[in-house]
Amino acid sequence: MRVCFLLLFFSVSVLAQSTSPSDFNHTGWESGNAGDTYAAEFRLTAKDVVQRLELLFQSSKPMFDLAALKAAVSPATTVVSEDHVFLNNEEVDAANYPKQHLIKVNRSRWKELRRSTETKSRLRVSLHEFLFIAGTDDTGFVVSDRLIELLNVGNYSPDIWWNPVNPANYVMASLGYAPPNCSIASARMNVLNSDETIVLETTGQCSDVSYRKVKIVKTAGVIPASSHVRGLFHDYWITVFNRDQNKVGEMQFQPTWGECLLPDSGSCQLSGKMTVAGVELVFWFLRE
């Protein structure tokens, strides 16, 4: 099975509304810059490039430190936007400050780079700035130019409809402690379903103490219209019950936006091991 995202090239105007059973409070981009949509989109662009590069160099050694680049794109680097950005008295698309782990994005220039015909330039600028943060000298765009050409990305506009922007289609479940012959199965989810309920239950010779039933409710919210990104995000509300069907634990999980978007193969881990009432869960997006 190959999961395809619905990338519909049209503009829409919608109201943000979450339909979570527990009234989730969505805080926007989970990248350290929730209120700065220019910075958020700049980082999302870089994540897109990094994922493509990971696939490109799966079986060969890259010409740069890919692990360092991936770390640089994380929230460890602060990205902010300003109306205009100058470097040596000259206006630039963006500027990087490796010692401060800081990138400044020129909002007036980024508006132009968002056009579909500027796709390669948009990706190149984002990659260029993060390469410097990662310790790779990209003076004159020598490295970023070559990498973007290798990726052979077709034109697209950021004004696409992501369904969703934080996809997950597999939850791996296990028990933190259980007697022999007592286990809990993992489960698949349909990434294109906006509303979905998954129930996991222990099987085998489980004592009253080790028995668990896990209910995972997925709901969708519309990305705020104030954001430059269009589409849906998914939320998960996880509830754990004991054998008497009493609730013994619950938690909310919302995968980070932009973590697992465009590549066509491979796998992407969306969470670390999360423990709820003795049940361990890990969310993944698997491409097959």
For the stretch 50-66, pLDDT in tens is 888 888 887 777 777 88
Do 42 and 121 sit in the same domain of this protein? yes
Do 178 and 223 sit in the same domain of this protein? yes
Of the ranges 93-102, 190-199, 217-226, the best mean pLDDT one: 93-102
Do 234 and 175 sit in the same domain of this protein? yes
Residue 28 within any structural domain of the chain = no
- In angstroms, the CA 152 to CA 175 distance is 44
Do 125 and 145 sit in the same domain of this protein? yes
Q: What is the mean pLDDT of residues 169-191?
A: 93
pLDDT-based confidence at residue 258 (cuts at 50, 70, 90): confident
Do 123 and 184 sit in the same domain of this protein? no
What's the structural domain count of the chain? 2
Q: Choose between 140 and 263: higher pLDDT.
A: 140
Using CA atoms, how far residue 148 sits from 51, 54, 74, 158, in Å, is 12, 13, 20, 17
Using CA atoms, how far residue 113 sits from 89, 109, 119, 207, 263, in Å, is 21, 6, 7, 60, 22
Residue 20 pLDDT greater than 80, yes or no: no
Do 149 and 199 sit in the same domain of this protein? no
pLDDT at residue 96 in the model: 97
Q: Choose between 25 and 220: higher pLDDT.
A: 220
pLDDT at residue 232 in the model: 85
For the stretch 66-118, pLDDT in tens is 899 999 998 889 999 999 999 999 999 999 999 999 999 999 999 899 888 99
* Encoded tokens for 60: 């060969």
* Domain encompassing residue 66: 37-159
